[in-house]
Amino acid sequence: MSAEDDEVLKIFVSTDNHLGFAEKDPVRGNDSFAAFEEVLFLAKSQRCDMIVLSGDLFHDNKPTRATVLKTIKILRKYCLGANPVKFEVVSDQSNFVQNQGVNFEDENFAVDLPIFSIHGNHDDPTRDGGTDMLAALDLLAACNLVNYYGRHDEIDKVDIDPVLIRKGENTKVALYGMGSMRDERLNRMWSKKKVKFLKPADEPEDDNDKEGKEWFNIFSLHQNRDYGRGAKNCVHESMIPEWMDLILWGHEHECLIDPVESLVGTFRVSQPGSSVATSLCMGESTPKQGGVLEIMGDNFRMTNNPLSKVRGFAMGEVSLMDFDELNPEDPKIDEKVTKVLVAKVKELINEARERTEVANEAAETHRQNCGMEDEDLQPEYDLNIPKRVLVRLKVEHTGFSTLNNQRFGAQFVEEVANPTEILLFHRRKRPQDAKKGGSGKKRGGGGGNLMEPIAPEELVEVSVEDLIKENLMSDEKKLEILDEATMSVALDEFVNKAQTTAIVDAVGHRLTKCQKKLIKSGGEELKDGRSILTSVAADTDALRRKAEAEDEERAKVGK
């Protein structure tokens, strides 16, 4: 695209910044802020028109005051300024939370780098201090620092109204946003066709009318992708309207930012990934990047922006059975295992540091190629002791005992940032026809007939909902007033969202509904406490059957 700047809309895309992650860690405490500041620095230095974030700006549902303060300072430094915004929002702005309009049109504020953000599953709205649902993004929106959109509070439908953006004469972008919501709720509405994407008024109703199409459609969402999680625990690409042009997929931390053709084949998907590693898994070890999305008319391109303010991370895997010098019967086996693992961890430390050097060189090369020299923008946050990298070694220890992680990591406290989490022990998957009496040893009686070790499968994700159903669905433990779905939602909000009144509110809401239903029925047949409880239990069973029927329906749709 060689058009003038007044026709090209430049959007910096990023997601899952997780501000405040490990903020009390003396080494990793600044990691999330350093990476986020670099994202804003790259956007500002390349004169991007706007930034789009696809959820989880904050790591905690109720971030600390220290985290909020740091965030506000960073946003004020990079988003406020005297430069004019070169695009306009031409749609109804009532879908913006708090301000009912974009921040750069407020005459009392000088915003020159607008941010458009949806919420994620970490910073989604919860009740706090009253009946209103509030998210941490509401605070930033009220301060005119972020344009918070894509929030849908209706429990039975989702109408996704786009933010219509126009730059110049030929560039029109419809930005759709859907903040994170519970997968079961979303799948239930999607299967009932209660999720609607509203088109601009001048867009043709016929999805196949390519000539009449005027808007470039972007959909930013924060949900699980279909990585074998089950029909109802993710969003399938087939659910998304075929007339979309580009999907910005948040929530998944692996950086796959290059747009790839979807399974549907009519749109492309970009997965920016997180800017900070919040878990020690393979997906987090890929190089972290942001991207500059340039749009002119119905053409677009994505330019990758390597991030340099990222702590080095390397991951490896070993099987103790592969080392001939290790014998489980050896009285000094722990010392020998430690020696083997220490050597492997040192290799990973060197690998992580090499990756850091490569990432820094790539970032520096990109900045030189883009001519980014802004002496007025000096980053405030940096990595504490960047030479201390992240390392995770998965150890298959079938036939061997495990080591104490803290004692093992003590020798690496000056070299790694996660000394107590270096080793992850697991056992190999046994063949289905393996004899129960197998010893699991490499040498010794009875061990010669064992098959070669099989790589372990990834741990199956166990949800709170599954645990509650397993423990409460038996006749002896079955609840008579509360249903499992209500209980699981309340427990999730209590544990993960720090919503201390979640369980009390759920019980109160359920009791109120039961009381209203009993009063409405007249109560003639309810002569004593037992009959009342029987009636309520029957109503609870009806809720269970309804939930099971919806699960079956979603499973059929997902096949």
Alpha-carbon gap, residue 411 to 415, rounded angstroms = 9
| Residue 39, domain member (yes or no) | yes
* pTM (two decimals): 0.80
Q: Are residues 37 and 111 in the same domain?
A: yes
Q: Are residues 228 and 360 in the same domain?
A: no
DSSP label at residue 229: S
| Residue 287, domain member (yes or no) | yes
Residue 5's pLDDT band (cuts 50, 70, 90): confident
Element (H, E) at 195: strand 195-197
Judged on CB neighbours under 10 Å (0-12, 13-18, 19+), 502 is buried
Residue 460's pLDDT band (cuts 50, 70, 90): very low
| CB distance 64 to 23 below 8 Å | yes
Q: Are residues 267 and 362 in the same domain?
A: no
Residue 171 has pLDDT above 70, yes or no: yes
Residue 229 has pLDDT above 70, yes or no: no
Q: What is the DSSP string of 237-271?
A: GGGS-TT--EEEEES--S-EEEEEE-SSSSSEEEE
Residue 433 has pLDDT above 50, yes or no: no
pLDDT at residue 555 in the model: 54
| Residue 3, domain member (yes or no) | no
pLDDT at residue 443 in the model: 40
Residue 445's pLDDT band (cuts 50, 70, 90): very low
CA–CA distance from 201 to each of 161, 164, 197, 407 (Å)? 11, 11, 12, 65
pLDDT at residue 459 in the model: 45
Residue 300 identity: F
Q: What is the mean pLDDT of residues 482-509?
A: 75
Residue 492 has pLDDT above 90, yes or no: no
pLDDT at residue 230 in the model: 63
Beta carbons within 8 Å of 64's beta carbon, 6+ residues apart: 20, 23
Phi, psi of 293, rounded to the nearest 5 degrees: -95, 120
Per residue in 133-145, pLDDT (tens digit) is 899 999 999 999 9
Q: Are residues 219 and 176 in the same domain?
A: yes
pLDDT at residue 133 in the model: 87
Domain containing residue 411: CATH number: 3.30.110.110
* pLDDT greater at residue 517 or residue 407: 407
pLDDT at residue 554 in the model: 54
| Residue 474, domain member (yes or no) | yes
Q: Are residues 248 and 190 in the same domain?
A: yes
Looking at the structure of the chain, the number of domains it has is 3
What tokens were used for 67? 């985290």
What tokens were used for 251? 């929530």
Q: What is the mean pLDDT of residues 263-280?
A: 95
Per residue in 341-394, pLDDT (tens digit) is 999 999 999 999 999 999 999 988 888 888 776 556 788 999 999 999 999 999
| Residue 420, domain member (yes or no) | yes
Q: What is the mean pLDDT of residues 25-50?
A: 96
CA–CA distance from 430 to each of 274, 423, 440, 443 (Å)? 35, 22, 9, 17
Q: Are residues 221 and 169 in the same domain?
A: yes
3-state secondary structure of 218: strand
**Lowest-confidence pick of 153-157, 237-241, 264-268, 280-284:** 153-157
Q: Are residues 290 and 345 in the same domain?
A: no
**Lowest-confidence pick of 61-70, 319-328, 378-387, 445-454:** 445-454
| CB distance 305 to 291 below 8 Å | yes
3-state secondary structure of 174: strand
pLDDT at residue 546 in the model: 73
Residue 294 has pLDDT above 90, yes or no: yes
Q: Are residues 535 and 477 in the same domain?
A: yes
| Residue 455, domain member (yes or no) | no
Selection from 116, 135, 127, 149 nearest residue 63 by Cα = 135
Selection from 146, 204, 151, 208 nearest residue 181 by Cα = 151
User: Which of 276, 306, 336 marks a domain boundary?
Assistant: 306
Whose structure tokens read 């109120």? 512
Q: Are residues 510 and 391 in the same domain?
A: no
Alpha-carbon gap, residue 92 to 371, rounded angstroms = 37
* pLDDT greater at residue 206 or residue 78: 78
| Residue 432, domain member (yes or no) | no
DSSP label at residue 58: B
Residue 495 has pLDDT above 60, yes or no: yes
Per residue in 298-357, pLDDT (tens digit) is 999 999 999 999 999 999 999 999 998 999 888 899 999 999 999 999 999 999 999 999
Domain containing residue 152: CATH number: 3.60.21.10
Q: Are residues 471 and 391 in the same domain?
A: no
pLDDT at residue 472 in the model: 64
Residue 432 has pLDDT above 60, yes or no: no
Q: What is the mean pLDDT of residues 422-432?
A: 80
Catalytic residue positions, numbered: 122
Q: What is the mean pLDDT of residues 417-431?
A: 87
User: Which of 252, 274, 306 marks a domain boundary?
Assistant: 306
Q: Are residues 405 and 532 in the same domain?
A: no
Instruction: Report the percent of the chain where pLDDT is more than 70.
Output: 84
Q: What is the mean pLDDT of residues 404-410?
A: 95
Residue 88 has pLDDT above 60, yes or no: yes
Q: What is the mean pLDDT of residues 447-453?
A: 41
Q: What is the mean pLDDT of residues 427-454?
A: 47
Alpha-carbon gap, residue 12 to 5, rounded angstroms = 15
**Lowest-confidence pick of 39-48, 223-232, 471-480:** 471-480
Q: What is the mean pLDDT of residues 505-519?
A: 78
pLDDT at residue 121 in the model: 95
User: Which of 258, 281, 306 marks a domain boundary?
Assistant: 306
Mean pLDDT score of the chain: 85
* pLDDT greater at residue 172 or residue 190: 172
**Lowest-confidence pick of 177-191, 197-211, 534-548:** 534-548
Range of the domain at 544: 464-558
| Residue 442, domain member (yes or no) | no
Residue 97's pLDDT band (cuts 50, 70, 90): confident
Q: Are residues 145 and 217 in the same domain?
A: yes
pLDDT at residue 522 in the model: 66
